[in-house]
Amino acid sequence: MASKRQQKYWLMKTEPGVYSIDDLKRDGKTYWEGVRNYQARNMMRDEMQIGDGVLFYHSQVKPMGIYGLAEIASEGYPDPSAFDPEEKYYDPKSDPANPTWMVVDVAYVAHLDPPVTLDTLKTTPGLEKMMVIQRGSRLSIQPVTPEEWEIVLNLTKQVS
């Protein structure tokens, strides 16, 4: 067995009206259904590993920003919502024998209090390259560097 590789860090975006950090706290764990973007799919399928850190970002809310922490709780597996015609995320083109879309499990870790707002991210030295602050950045799953992770956590307190 290969030695455990370095922990990686991610930012995952949701609208609180769809799935919020409060929902995740209530559920403890969820699977990240509904991603229909190949770049994001590839990260879940190929790169995420159990124990990776997640910045839980909320869009479409005031103020926008990082509201909590989570962690990756499984490796990638086929997205069940793609196969269910009743599901909003149903994709008739995805063949269960050769699934197009993948999910990972995501487990609750903590709320951030206060949340780290988008405005703060934009004005904090060291975060200039973060994908989430770039204009037109629509990717719902983004890689975060260890340095960025460290800086973000130093901007707030964690509460469970």
Q: Side chain identity at 138, as an amino acid letter?
A: R
* Beta carbons of 33 and 81 less than 8 angstroms apart: yes
Closest to DNA by CB, 134 vs 158, is 134
Closest to DNA by CB, 20 vs 59, is 59
Residue 56 CB, nearest approach to DNA (Å)? 13
Residue 79 CB, nearest approach to DNA (Å)? 14
**Residues forming the site for DNA (CB under 7 A):** 13, 15, 36-38, 59-60, 64, 118, 132, 134-140
Residue 118 CB, nearest approach to DNA (Å)? 6
Residue 15 CB, nearest approach to DNA (Å)? 6
Closest to DNA by CB, 25 vs 36, is 36
Query: What DSSP designation does 110 have?
Result: E
Closest to DNA by CB, 50 vs 155, is 155
* Beta carbons of 10 and 43 less than 8 angstroms apart: yes
Instruction: State the number of CA atoms in the 13 A half-sphere of 26 facing the CB.
Output: 5
Distances from the Cα of 160 to the Cαs of 21, 42, 101, 130, 155, in angstroms? 11, 30, 31, 26, 17
Other C-beta atoms lying within 10 Å of the C-beta of residue 27: 12
